[in-house]
Structures are given as C-alpha cells and as structure tokens.
Structure 1
C-alpha cells in the first residue's frame, strides 16, 4: 500500500494548508512546542521524543529540523496519514501504528529507554476524560523524572461567555492570517478519496474507524481541568506557556 513521493508531497502540502483553519497561529504553536522540547532536552546527547497523534509527521518534521540528534517516535492510528508521513518525512521519525488510549497502546511504541519529552498538537481532545487520565498516567510512566509533556490543543474556558469570546478571537485571527482561504478538513478528505493511489489506504482507514467508533468526540475540557488530570497522573508542575484564543500550549513536568 505504498505511495509515491510525488503523491505524498502533494497531499502533505495540502494537509498543511487546510490545518491552518483549525489551529490558530499553527506555525507559532509548533515553534513554541519545539522551544519547550529544546529547553527540556538541553545537554542530552540523543533525547527520545514521542509525537502523539502525529498525522503525516508535521510536528515530527519540525522537531527533527531543530533537534537533528533526537530520536523521534511518531504514533497515530490513521493508516493514510502514517503512510504520508513515512513517505514524505521518512527521516524525521520512526512511525508507529497504534490507537492512543486503547489497551496496550504504549507497548506498540517499542521504547527501550525513558522518554525525555512527549508532544501532541490537536490530537488528544477527542479522548473521553477517563481515557485521557489513563493516557496521562501512561505517559508519566514513560517519561524520565524532569521529562515534559507538551500539549498544544483547543482548551476552551469552562464558562460559556468566555469560551464564546476565545473562540471568536481565534476565528478572527484565522481570518486575518488567511487560514480560512484554504480547503477544510472535509474537502481535503473528499479530494483524497478521488486519488486512486490512496484508495487502499482509505479503505483500511474506513474499516479502522468503524472498529473504533470513529475515534470519539471528546469533551472540550478546559485547560484547568487538563491541569488537574495531569497532576493526578503524576505531573508535579503544569502551566500554559502560550495562548491565542482557545488555542493553548500546556506544559506538564514530571516530578522526581
């Protein structure tokens, strides 16, 4: 089910454009996540990083550019996006097919030493709260003392008036920066379905989503609630390091 370099490049480039609709100041968010990882791994010869919900390798590729000596493991359940990453960003990471939050999902990672950092962007918000707490606990167990979990995602305030305001601020920012000029998520997948080279991977994707209930919808938890869950999971220090609208980069440091 391999795909050509040219096809992978086309669809990854289109993915990068359409994702600008959903992550406010997406490139700046990536940069901030990478800044945190750079700080947390300073002086370590070959830091081990985990990219959760890696998609086609967008964040992994940026981490690899900044931290060329890092070992990066990139995990996702989507066979099409994984294959795009393996082909277009082949040198950035070791790509692992696993369902985050499912039983035994961390075993598939094949980690032979503690993680220095785990990162994620717009990938964990769909997990129901009990599964999210378990995921945070598993990540805490995988990280070395002082290791970090860096999560860039949508964290709307718990109160509706404030969440309406942060959503509006983010939407206006996306309009000013041209994010809404690109195709959206549904249009990207509809167009991909017309590419015959992707047909087998899309068929496998449909089967997996049917088996896993489509991945779930999550609960749009506020940043404060995420911080509470992270502390319960074993992270001693939790704080936001960047925010625009309800797009937040939250950092959790494992105690030890």
Structure 2
C-alpha cells in the first residue's frame, strides 16, 4: 500500500469483495479500537490511515458524534468506496489520497485527537514504523490516542504455526457463518491471503514486543496490547499531557 506500483486497483476490488472475511473477528477489531479511545469533549478530528472501504471510520463516526474523520488511502477505488459507504455522515467524513510511507501528509493544520490504522503499517519496515510512530506522536493533541490494528510477526516457529492455523480456521468459520458453505474460504486460499502461510514480499511485519517498545521510545504513555488473535494485534498508546 505504499506505492502505486505495488498496490493495484484489482487488489482494492478484491479487498472490498472479500476483506470482510479474510481476517479474524473484523467487527470485534473495530469495536475494540472504538473502546480504547476516550470520547472527546467537543469537536475533534480523527485520522484513519489506509482507511480502505471505511469500515473502521464508520465505527468511529457512529461511536463519537462530535468527531470528524479523515480517511486517507493510496487507492482511488478505496477512497471512492469509503465516501459512498459513509455518505450518510456528510461533512463529518472526508477523504485524502496519500502514501503511508511519505512524510508530506504528516504536517496537519489541526492536531488530530486520535490516529488509527488497520492492516497497513506492516507494509513499512522497522525504521519506517519507528519514524511513523514518532511523527504521529508529534502531530497528536496532548492526551490523543494512537491505535493500530495490524499483522504482527510471531517471535518463533511455535507462534507462527499457531497463527497460521488459527487464521485459516477463523476464515473458514466466518465463511460458513456468512454463506453456509466454504466458498469464501476457498477464495481466501486461492488468493493466498494467509500471510503466515504465504508471506507477501510487500509485507514487513514486526513483532508486537518491538512495536510496543518503539511506541514508548516515541514518547507514548499507557502503551498496551488490547487484543491478539491469529497473527493480528491491536495495540497503541496515548500522547502525554491532558
């Protein structure tokens, strides 16, 4: 998702069609993100980095009526889908095209109350993640939250084998629940979307422990892991101050 040559619009189409079932507990993940962000007092801005079709942005707009969300993404198809899906929120949802790995977007006219991201930051290498964490800390309002949903690298073979199996089983169960059969699970396997089984050369996941350390080094307080399943984690921290 960091350069146009790497992320194609067909990838966006596939994600819109199958992303709902391709990772474990998608609704749970968005609910967890909303739960660990304190409700703002008055108007506030939230940035959703690599917003995709707008699922997480929509959860935040519903949870926090005083919030305006800016959804950033590289893909025009994703931004168009998100704008359409969230049209009911009018001016409370805006879109912005960006490159996650670039730095031009990291200077904001208004300090965001929260920055969130789902299944995107693993496209950055370790130094890229560390730079992003520092820049997000700098842009946030005091007391603002940074919450990340992402793939994480298991620290050893035991964790990798478990994550691989649990990811496949979760998608199979979601396929049966959604359609009564395993057709969506077969598509998931055909697309080789289990990153623990079929590593994508674009993916550069880091361990959860490393990323928690990098958040602390960037200045964040209350750094924590909020949820973990099948190689996917939710973690984050809060900018010091009130």
Q: Return the TM-score normalized by structure 1.
A: 0.74
Higher relative contact order (CA 8 A, sep 6+): 1
Please list, as runs of the form range in 1=range in 2, the aligned pairs for 1:148-159 lying within 5 A after superposition: 148-159=145-156
CA-to-aligned-CA distance 1:139-180 (integer Å, 9 cap, x gap): 101112221111111113211221211221232122122276
SS of 2:143's equivalent in the other structure is strand
Residue 83 of structure 1 aligns with which residue? Answer: 80
Verify: 1:226 aligned to 2:211, yes or no.
Answer: yes
Residue 36 of structure 1 aligns with which residue? Answer: 36
Provide closer, same or farther for how the CA distance between residues 142 and 240 of structure 1 changes in structure 2, counting only shifts above 3 A: same
- Whole-Å separation in 1 of the counterparts to 2:153 and 2:59: 26
Structure 2 segments unaligned to the other structure (5+ residues): 1-11, 177-181, 192-200
Count of matched residue pairs: 212
Verify: 1:116 aligned to 2:101, yes or no.
Answer: no
- Whole-Å separation in 2 of the counterparts to 1:148 and 1:85: 23
Provide closer, same or farther for how the CA distance between residues 221 and 251 of structure 1 changes in structure 2, counting only shifts above 3 A: same
Verify: 1:145 aligned to 2:142, yes or no.
Answer: yes
- Whole-Å separation in 1 of the counterparts to 2:47 and 2:97: 13
1:79 CA displacement: 1.3
- Whole-Å separation in 2 of the counterparts to 1:133 and 1:146: 20
Please list, as runs of the form range in 1=range in 2, the aligned pairs for 1:176-255 lying within 5 A after superposition: 176-178=173-175, 181-182=183-184, 183-184=187-188, 217-255=202-240
Provide closer, same or farther for how the CA distance between residues 186 and 172 of structure 1 changes in structure 2, counting only shifts above 3 A: closer
SS of 2:235's equivalent in the other structure is strand
Provide closer, same or farther for how the CA distance between residues 152 and 185 of structure 1 changes in structure 2, counting only shifts above 3 A: farther
Q: Return the TM-score normalized by structure 2.
A: 0.78
1:123 CA displacement: 1.2
SS of 1:24's equivalent in the other structure is coil
Verify: 1:70 aligned to 2:67, yes or no.
Answer: yes
- Whole-Å separation in 1 of the counterparts to 2:128 and 2:112: 21
Structure 1 segments unaligned to the other structure (5+ residues): 1-11, 188-215
Which of 43, 46, 54 is the matching residue for 1:46?
43
Q: CA RMSD in A?
A: 2.5
Provide closer, same or farther for how the CA distance between residues 185 and 74 of structure 1 changes in structure 2, counting only shifts above 3 A: farther
- Whole-Å separation in 2 of the counterparts to 1:253 and 1:174: 32
SS of 1:105's equivalent in the other structure is helix
Provide closer, same or farther for how the CA distance between residues 68 and 19 of structure 1 changes in structure 2, counting only shifts above 3 A: same
SS of 2:122's equivalent in the other structure is coil
